[in-house]
Every structure is written in structure tokens, then in C-alpha cells.
Structure 1
């Protein structure tokens, strides 16, 4: 049996080992990104374009930390999973998000009405995007954006398509954004990929599409719902949203011999309604005779695949997130939100 003195010494030794391990783990994340290839060039560009002294940019990068969890998040899964639309849909088109969405809509009804009048974007679509992205601001992300973007710019994992150039560009945009606004680059939190605010704009999108909806001279996508609502609407408008064009149209597949041809363009609207019908796809919704549609495949794991026709505005939603699952979830949620709100009113 250990004596109290021996137990005390053992406890101290264990604590020392644990502390040492913690320090080593912490030190492992203290990569000096300022010494990384391309860092100096980025600092020089920011100095030339934005007037930010190169030394300030490099000092920021010295304070950035490597985030192993971010590296892990962008790595492909060890076992390939089957895409499943039903599982994906259930994450977003579900009772809680619908209820909170109607509450958000009611609380911001005047702003949403103004945004629709100004940009031509249906109110329910704006609400649905903010709902899918952050559940109306409940989950804006807990990663320090400087760390996330520096990690993905300078330590992007090998063994897959290299997107480090994209994240290097976003890191540059983030530093420029913080220089232009009230944001503190050492404090801003967002997603593991560097998306920020209620609508999860990447820094370059904030610079390009965010607007001062409340007219206070500051664009604040974290705290100003009006700024966030107007910015989402502006993003969709700039990317080509057109009133009267289709979003998603329910379909029935009458024959399957033309499916490979119809699916080849993926999300790009390619076929007129008449051509769709000729090739064995019956449309159960309104479309304009000359508009183009894409046949969207919604894989459901081992269950039978579902299909929907994506119109011009479906494609516009994919500019926010280049995924057919994402766009269909947003649009289904928007339909559910409108239905629930109409029922309540």
C-alpha cells in the first residue's frame, strides 16, 4: 500500500507529465505561418492594395495557430459513405428549424418585406438560407477564423484536391476585411472553413456582396439582422435570381432510357420543359416554355433515387453552396416555412 507521502509524490509526477504533454500539444500548434511560403508575397500584396504594412500582416500570421481539427475536417472519410438525401434533408427541413424560422420571419417581417421589394428575392428563401446556415444565428461557429484560414492556406492536407490557393485568397480577403471594418482579426469566430456571420459569408463574399442594410455606416453580419438579410438577398440578386423563373419542380420519371443524358449537365439548367417531357420526365409544376431546367438526382442510400427539376433560380442558390443537396434543402425549407407561416396567419 502506498504511503501518503509516496502517493503525494506520485500525484505530483503525474501532474507534471500531463502538464508537459499539454504544453507539447500546444506547442505543436504554434507553427509560425509568417515563415511559410507565400506569406511574404501575400503581405506585400496587402500592403500594395490595402495599405496594410507587410509587417502587420506577418505579425498576425505569427499569432495564428495550426488547428489539427480543421485539417481533419477537410480530409476525406476513411470509409466512403453513400450519399443519402433523406438523411441530409432531415438535418435541415425539420420542426425546430421551421418553428425558429417562422419566429425569425415574424420578428423581421418589415425588413424581409423591404428586401424582397428591393432585390426581388422571396422572403422565405432568405429566411431558409439563414436557417440552413446558422439556425438564425444560433450556430455561427467557434473557430477563430484567422487560425482556420491560415491552417487551410498553409497546411492543407495532401491526398485530395488541393484547395490551399482558395483558402490563401480567403485569408488575404479576411485580413483586408478586418482592416476595413470594426472586426478584430484575432477575435472573429466562424466555421472551420472560415465562413462568418448569420449567413456564413466567406470573407471575399462579405467584401463583394455584403451591404449596410440598416444604414448605420457599418456592415455587421454578426449582430445586425437587417444587414444579414439584405446581404443574403443581394448575393442572390447579383448571382442572377430572376422573378418568375423556376426554383424546383417536382417530377415523375416516366421512362429511364434518357437518364444518363439528362443527368450529364448536373446542376446546370440545360433542357426546356418540352425537351424534358420528350425525354420521359413529367413536370408537376409551373415553368416558362423557354426556360432551361436541370434534372437533379437525389441519391437516397439504398432506397430508390428521387429526382427533381432544378430551374434557373435553383442554380442561383447553388452559387451560395455548390451542392444540389444544399439547394434542394434550402428550397424545401423555404416552402415549409411559407406553408407554416401562411397557416398561422
Structure 2
């Protein structure tokens, strides 16, 4: 894998032993190159000294009290965090007027490189995928699709220090978009709690610019709530244990309402009348309508959809200047969007997983 395994970080020899225990030399080189590039870009100016800021130290004391942590340890940990300008830039939304395009979005994820990597991941971990389906009801293709979309099965897990990313977004969230600093302060607190529970040096874990970690890109709160020690080795390792990754993803979806044996979506022709179509789109991707209510509004479901008794949502995926694509999403489609709140994301997960499944025939 491209990041240091969490269970290896606890060792007293820290970086040298962690690197020795990580993936092959080529992956080591790529990880170091990515990290060096980030550091070069972000150390051109003197980084903010969070240890000298009264608001940060006040947060440290309050977080320590809430979580039952040693205040000195929390203070010392946060004093080693630094402001990362790249993180503040990447968290900003795309430029106004950027048109969504499902066809282009799909092309980024349902493509030969990910399909080949997904096939290898499925073949190497078939027994864990089967066990996860037995325990949580989530099919292998969905788990494989999520891990593929998130990190190409560990090839792109992020090169930012999680401590820096979360501190930057907690204490220096950029202006120009809705302030989410409270969310990131909560995640920073959970990250410190996670590190203390696992005896980790908080400066070592790497992740995305938003602080997501490992092959499934879990935020710290999700690691604590939904991370599973699926291989039974005593650690939740989302960096190098495929078993833990698979079990944790399946557990997450089950916790958000995945229905065992249920479909994710059906084909549908959207209503011709603009008013009817708009009414079906009001709840967005939350399943809110019966098949009969779809029919009353002029939405024509495919044959399996007309036999479905559960609630449905009309899912609209824009295609730039071309006509949108429409699907009828079920509760399982909605469950995938709880992982990433995007119907484009959910459909990419579904179609990548299905593309990999077809390759196994």
C-alpha cells in the first residue's frame, strides 16, 4: 500500500521501521515523492505555529476534557501541526458555472486501469468479500466499487499528514464557502482519540487533503464508529489489511440501511411534463415515491422496477449540454450516497463494481 500501516506506526522505531514494513520499494518511492512534492509546495513560506495560538491550545484543553485525554499530550500533538496552504486551496468548491457531466465523471472511474486493479483485488480477497456479504448483506461488487473509486485499491490514498490537514481546516478554514471548521474540529478531536487508542504518533498517518485515511478513505469519526477488525489481529488497519477494509466498508453501508438482496436502481424514462418531473425531483435522492406514484407522474419504469414494492427516487445525472440520464434509485442507492453524498459517485461505484464483476466470468 502507499501509506504507512496504522498498526506499524505504534512501533518505537517509528519512521524507519514503518517504512521497512510497508509495501515494496517502488511504492515507497512514490509515497516519498508525493509527500516531498506537498512539503516543497507548502514550506515556501514559514508555516503557522499552531502551538503558539491561544485558540488552538484552548481547543486542546477542551478536547482533552471531553475525551478523557491527557491535556499535555493533546497540546504537544497540536503544537506539531502546521498550516498547509494546499489543503486550504483544495477544499474550495469548483469555479461557479462548472457544468456537471455524468459521462465525463463515469469515464474517470469506469476505465481499464481500475477494472484491472479491481479484478486483482477481488481475486486476492474473495473469501473476505464473501464473508462480508454473509455478515452484512453487501455484495462484493459494491465493496469493490467503493474501494476502486476511492483510491484505486490503495494506489492513491493521499500524501498529506492527517494532523496538518485537519488542523488547517479546523483553525484556518478558508473564506469563500460555507464554513465547515466545526466539522473538522470534531474530526481532529476524533483523530487524536483514535491515535491515543492505537498508541499512534499523530504526525505519522497520511491521508487526503480533507483528512480521510486508508483504502476506503474513512474520516477519523468513521474509523472509530464503523472500522472493523475483520481479520481478528487486534487492530483496525485500513491501510494494509484488505480484510479490515472490506469488513469496514460493508459495516458502514449496513449501518446506513443497506437492504440485503435488494437492487440499487432501475431504468426509468423521466416524465415528459416539466412539472411532473420537477415534483419527482424535489426529494432529490431520498426514496420517497411508490411505483404507482411514479406512474401517476408519467415516469415509466422498466419491468423489474414495475415489480418493486419499495420506495423510489428519481435520480437525475446531468450530461453537460446533452440530455440528462435518469434512474430510479432505491434505498440501497441512497445508502451508497451516505458514503459520499453524490448520486454521480453512487452510480460510478455501482458501474465500476459491475464492470469488475463481468470480468470475472
The one of the two structures with greater contact order (alpha-carbon pairs below 8 A, sep at least 6) is 2
Q: Distance in 1 between matches of 2:282 and 2:51?
A: 44
Q: Deviations over 1:184-243 (max 9, x none)?
A: 211110000000011000000000000100101111110111011000010011111012
Corresponding residue number in structure 1 for 2:304: 286
Whether the 8 Å contact between 2:337 and 2:345 is mirrored in structure 1 is yes
How far residue 251 of structure 1 moved from its aligned partner, in angstroms, is 1.2
Structure 2 stretches lacking a partner, 5+ long: 1-38
- 2:279 aligned with 1:224: no
Q: Provide the secondary structure at the position in 2 that maps to 1:286.
A: helix
- 2:211 aligned with 1:194: yes
Q: Provide the secondary structure at the position in 1 that maps to 2:304.
A: coil
Corresponding residue number in structure 2 for 1:10: none
Q: Distance in 2 between matches of 1:244 and 1:68?
A: 45
Whether the 8 Å contact between 1:111 and 1:229 is mirrored in structure 2 is yes
- 2:85 aligned with 1:68: yes
- Given candidates 295, 318, 336, the residue that maps to 1:299 is 318
Aligned residue pairs total 321
* Greater displacement, 322-331 / 44-53: 44-53
When normalised by structure 2's length, the TM-score is 0.84
How far residue 28 of structure 1 moved from its aligned partner, in angstroms, is 3.7
- Given candidates 338, 341, 345, the residue that maps to 1:326 is 345
- Given candidates 240, 251, 263, the residue that maps to 2:281 is 263
Whether the 8 Å contact between 2:82 and 2:164 is mirrored in structure 1 is yes
Q: Which has the larger radius of gyration?
A: 1
- Given candidates 160, 180, 187, the residue that maps to 1:143 is 160
Q: Distance in 2 between matches of 1:317 and 1:78?
A: 26
Corresponding residue number in structure 2 for 1:167: 184
Corresponding residue number in structure 1 for 2:133: 116
Q: Distance in 2 between matches of 1:208 and 1:122?
A: 21
Q: Provide the secondary structure at the position in 1 that maps to 2:268.
A: strand
Q: Distance in 1 between matches of 2:112 and 2:303?
A: 25
